A and B are shown apart, each in its own frame.
Chain A
Amino acid sequence: MTEITRAEVCVAACADAWRGDGETLASPFGTIPSLGARLARLTFEPDLVLTDGEAALMANTPAVSGTEDMVREAWMPYRRVFDVVWAGRRHVMMMASQLDRFGNQNLSCIGDWHRPKAQLIGVRGAPGNSVNHTTSYWIPSHTPRAVVESVDMVCGVGYDHAGSVPGAARFHEVRVVVTNLAVLDFATPDHALRLRSVHPGVSVDEVLASSGCPVVVADAVPESRLPTPEELSILRHVLDPTGLREKELPG
């Protein structure tokens, strides 16, 4: 078996985000989170619910490169996704142009919202997602520009903002942040960003230097786990035989 790549470590870390979720709609954004959700379903979370990215739920778990072999199990147009979101039966893994120390996420704009330096895609469903169901994040390029002290526009709601509004805290959970360098979470007394594990070959100092905000570090930070031989085989031969994971995260 060839050497395990960073992208493959990230896929396993993303898969672990959905561990324990059971019959939940997993909504991954990005190639590596999509592979993670599908890998989780083919291994330890067989009841996860996945969409085809359009208006169908998939009964089977085909490769991410195409939907030719897809078997549909139910209809889920965008309007019905909101029923799932607002009922809390979903765990989304979104991307973030900026993510801050308390888990606020921005994909709307950089600079002052009233006249942004850079207009991005918009808040999308992030405000509603983050206060209605579990939210995780995928940051393929962990830099001080992406991991910041505080975001320019709060789209996905973090712990500090959720804590200031009772209705926002009720169903709020930012579970995990997977980056190209590490796995982070908010398991600290004040829900500040914490380093959970570093990917093999990455040092704690490298993560700290790549972050634009303080990160809580324990005395001993473990290494992120490697995918098991079974997971690697599924990933390489079933879910991603063309190697799209390496395009999103070049070694």
Chain B
Amino acid sequence: MTDKRSSLDDMVAELRPGMTIGFGGWGSRRKPMAAVRAIVRAGVGDLTVVSYGGPDVGQLCAAGLVRKVVFGFVTLDSIALDPHFRAARQEGRIEAMEVDEGMFYLGLLAACQRVPFLPTRAGLGSDVMRVNPDLRTVRSPYDDGEELVAMPALELDAAFVHLNRADRHGNGQVLGPDPYFDDLFLGAARRRFVTAEAVVEPGALLDEGPLQSVVVTRLITDAVSEVPLGAHFTSCPPDYPRDEELQRRYVKAAADPDTWAEFADRFVAVDQPDYRRALAEVSASSSAAP
């Protein structure tokens, strides 16, 4: 069986400017943040970012790498709004496709199933149809004749998800309560990248969770990388909760260009060893453990 172990840098080396990239997780929860940091370091730009948005969207916007965001929301959960995404929208620096969360889900599912769209009532009557003039409706071919939104497939050039565990063949496991839509992001993408807190021996995934927790199969994985703290500062239960203190610093730093540059130097445009060193410095200089 193929050994799909790779490095984050090798994954990101496959990306090209102008690509459409999906990021798993939800809000400020189990986001592939190490992948985001690697993309920022590589400076791959002009991206269309597809995300149930959190600080992944914010940090890529702050780095000037985003052409367009496809989203239903962007939030940091315990802090309602992401300052960089707000600024990018308010200053007109990015394009947007804003759809209902459920439409977003069906867009990923359509891409997974290789159909051009899936029908839904979600969006009917709302301004989602006004601000996305490319969205079409479709009439049921059956006797009811009902008109529904035809949510187009959200096809991705690449997708990144961060899981609790994986094996070297590309099976992946979520030990927290919600798998979110991570398997759909992978299924919708041409190149499919998984990072995990730990890469364990094949078969050993069942040591830590039931069979149903292995939500990603190797059928939808091209490369795997062990990246401890790969979702940090977002939450990755049961491995770690959200680092609320660092998230607060992230938001505060956005208020001023100099403060932001300093934050980005330490916590965004860094590789994983430097990120961990920066975290250790923070915890050494504060009484609270991270």
Point out residues on A near B: beta carbons under 8 Å.
54-56, 75, 77-79, 82, 85-86, 108-109, 113-128, 130-132, 153-157, 161-162, 164-172
Contacts and interface: CB of A to CB of B under 8 A. Distances in A.
Nearest to A52: B177
B131 A113 contact: yes
A72 B126 CA distance: 35
B101 A128 contact: yes
7 contacts: A79-B181, A115-B92, A117-B90, A127-B100, A128-B120, A162-B125, A171-B121
B121 A122 contact: no
Interface stretch (B73-81, B192-200, B273-281): B73-81
Contacts of B209: none
B98 A125 contact: no
B100 A126 contact: yes
A122 B71 contact: yes
Contacts of A114: 92, 131
Q: Which of B71, B75, B90, B181 has the most CB of A within 10 A?
A: B90
B146 A155 contact: no
A164 B73 CA distance: 26
Contacts, number: 137
B178 A78 contact: yes
Q: How large is the interface on B (under 10, 10 to 19, 20 to 34, 35 or more residues)?
A: 35 or more
A45 B286 CA distance: 48
Given A125-B100, A154-B130, A169-B125, 17 more contacts: A54-B177, A77-B179, A108-B98, A109-B89, A113-B131, A118-B86, A126-B126, A127-B122, A127-B123, A127-B128, A128-B102, A130-B126, A131-B126, A156-B126, A161-B126, A165-B147, A167-B147
Contacts of A171: 121
Nearest to B85: A119
Contacts of A86: 102, 120-122
Contacts of B75: 121-122
A82 B73 CA distance: 16
Nearest to B88: A119
Contacts of A109: 89
